[in-house]
Amino acid sequence: MNKIIISPSILSADFMNLEREITSVKEAGAEWVHIDVMDGHFVPNITIGVPVVKSIRKKTDMFLDVHLMIENPEKYVKAFANAGADLITFHYEASDEPEKVISLIKSFGKKAGISIKPNTYSDKIFPYLNDLDLVLVMTVEPGFGGQEFMHDCAMKIPSIKEHSPENLIIQVDGGINNITSKICKSLGANSLVAGSYIYGSNDYKKAIESLI
């Protein structure tokens, strides 16, 4: 069986103790950290930006999985790349020319991901699959942690997988827990983002292990 990459979302972490929260998920077995960047325009919430990514980079060697929920992602790719992101995922719905954003991300030597919101059909991203490192299927409306998993959205996974090259990572984000993770894995996902399920638990290791 393929390895499942768990990417804990720090959106649900204690921001006053971010270093400790990141170290804790690493010690609990995670290799990636999911960083949700929101601009108050593409989504109705504002979270963190470039300076925080830069500070996190200084304190950890974990793989920084940056999820941009922002308009005009092309304007900010350079800043997030320089801040130390390893993977930059932007939204299909936020860009008129996704192929340009993908090559821009790659021009900085970073891995490129594209994400689709619940109402976006999977075939919209088929033209880009060969150029991408990751596809992120949202199983909640982006903007907030702690929402309920939308089963219909997960049904996009098999068709994406069918059209994908072998090494493309299919990641799912939103409402992931020990039950919904099984559904996503059985449909073909090999990376899971989890915020409230991990950071809301009192045993990060147990929570992470229950997702693998």
Which residues sit at the interface with ligand DX5, rule CB under 6 A?
A: 9, 11-12, 34, 36, 67, 140, 142-147, 173-176, 193-197
| Sign of CA pseudo-dihedral 54, 86, 101, 194 | negative
Q: Identify which of residues 7 and 99 has a Cβ nearer to ligand DX5 in the complex.
A: 7
Smallest gap from Cβ 141 to ligand DX5, in A, equals 7
Tokens 């930006």 identify what position? 49
Give the number of residues in contact with Zn ion, rule: CB under 5 A.
3
Of 29-37, 76-84, 157-165, 197-205, the segment contacting Zn ion by CB under 5 A is 29-37
Q: Identify which of residues 126 and 144 has a Cβ nearer to ligand DX5 in the complex.
A: 144
Residue 145 contact partner, candidates Zn ion, ligand DX5, none, CB within 5 to 8 A by sort of partner:
ligand DX5
Smallest gap from Cβ 181 to ligand DX5, in A, equals 10
Residue 156's closest CA among 138, 130, 178, 175? Answer: 138
Find the binding residues for Zn ion in span 98-157 (CB under 5 A).
none
Pattern 67-86, Zn ion, x by CB under 5 A: x-------------------
Of 21-29, 57-65, 79-87, 169-177, the segment contacting Zn ion by CB under 5 A is 169-177
How many C-beta atoms surround the C-beta of residue 5 within 10 A?
19
Do residues 149 and 180 lie in contact, with contact meaning Cβ atoms separated by under 8 Å?
Answer: yes
DSSP structure string for 84-136: T-SEEEEEGGG-S-HHHHHHHHHHTT-EEEEEE-TTS-GGGGGGGGGG-SEEE
Buried b (16+ CB within 10 A) or exposed e, 125-140: beebbebbbbbbbbbb
Smallest gap from Cβ 142 to ligand DX5, in A, equals 4
